[in-house]
Structure 1
Amino acid sequence: MIIDIPEGKEPIGYVWGEMVPGIGPAAATFSMAVYEHTTLGLREFEAARLRIAQINGCLFCLDWRTDRDGVKVEEGFDEAVAEWRTTDAFDERTRLAAEYAERYAVSHHELDGEFWERMLAHYSQKEVVELTMCLGSWLAFGRLNRVLEIDAACVLPGR
């Protein structure tokens, strides 16, 4: 880890809470809000989340699967996300979620009119805003945890 964690302290709680008490708890609340208040379907939510995790390399995020009332995406879903361009496992909304996640993370200046035309043919404007906020949370906080090398000790805030 890049940050010295005092003996007996849980790394995520220490970094996110004790080190920056004016910022960390607010970040944790935002991080949890994308799970607790999403209206997006599980498959598109997970496709976007996992694509960001793959790009960030966050160990916890790569291993985590969102659970909705005991339902998770199928085994191998993460491999399909990595191959979002060619997989036959996705409908158009799921494929677009993975594409948007990738472009948001690595080439956001190239989100052009053609992309938005396709996106808005399958997502409402409200869903686009919600997905964008989710992407921002995952990109920022997954990358923060990976860069500080605390991703192996990560748990979702509040869990």
Structure 2
Amino acid sequence: MSAIDWGSILPEARQAMLSLEAVSHRAGLSRRLLELVKIRVSQMNGCAFCLDMHTKEARQLGETEQRLYALAVWHEAPFYDESERAALAWAEAMTNLSAGVPDALYQALLAHFSERQIVALTSAVIAINAWNRWAISMRTEPGSYRPDLAR
């Protein structure tokens, strides 16, 4: 099956996705944190296109290679602060819903984020999970994303 340009075929679907995505950017969460979350969820979902996109975006925001390389094993790596750890644990639990989302993860978030930011983070995780599904199922070509053309 060749790639389907779903955003052109059904622009309302793409616009809905962009609207959901925008919520997280307006709630005071750092863009670097959001990129880490998007990368980790994309790793879990096996989305090569989104991994390519969000690692490029993270690098443009000043994220280090060391932290990007270790993100898949963030539990063991000392390179992430407690707020990042709380956000990554939340994102992983939301992505792997079959294991549930423990109350302790929500409590850990409250130590670092406002309720508004938690809702925005949740929105970001929902959005990247959906983007992953679009990219994988529609055969979006990994490596084709160019940050210089995305703005």
C-alpha offsets along residues 26-82 of structure 1, whole Å, 9 cap, x if unaligned? Answer: 323434x257535212442222111111012222221233359x5321013223221
Q: Partner residue of 1:16?
A: 7
Which of 62, 69, 86 lines up with 2:51 in the alignment? 62
Residue equivalent to 2:74: 84
Structure with higher helix content: 2
Query: TM-score, length-normalised on structure 1?
Result: 0.76
Residue range with higher mean Cα deviation, 143-152 or 90-99:
143-152
**Preserved contact between residue 32 and residue 58 of structure 2 (Cα < 8 Å):** no
Unaligned segments of structure 1, at least 5 residues = 6-13
Q: 1-side partners of 2:42 and 2:103: how far apart?
A: 26
Match of residue 16, structure 2, among 3, 26, 40: 26
User: Paired residue for 1:8?
Assistant: none
Looking at structure 2, the residues matched to 76 and 143 of structure 1 have their Cα atoms a distance apart, in angstroms, of: 27
Matched residue, 2:138 = 148
Query: Sequence identity of aligned pairs in percent?
Result: 27
* Rg larger in structure: 1
The answer to whether residue 41 in structure 2 is matched with residue 52 in structure 1 is yes
Provide structure 2 residue ranges, at least 5 long, that are not aligned to the other structure.
Answer: none
Return the letter of the residue paired with 1:37: R
For residues 136-155 of structure 1, give each alpha carbon's deviation from its aligned partner in whole angstroms, at most 9, with x where no partner exists.
11110122111221142456
User: Are 2:25 and 2:31, in contact at CA under 8 Å, matched by a contact in 1?
Assistant: no
* Cα distance change, pair 34–60 in 1 and its aligned pair in 2 (3 A): farther
Aligned counterparts of 1:62 and 1:135: Cα–Cα separation in 2: 14
Question: 1-side partners of 2:109 and 2:98: how far apart?
Answer: 14
**TM superposition score normalised by structure 2:** 0.79
1:60–1:155 CA contact under 8 A, matched in 2: no
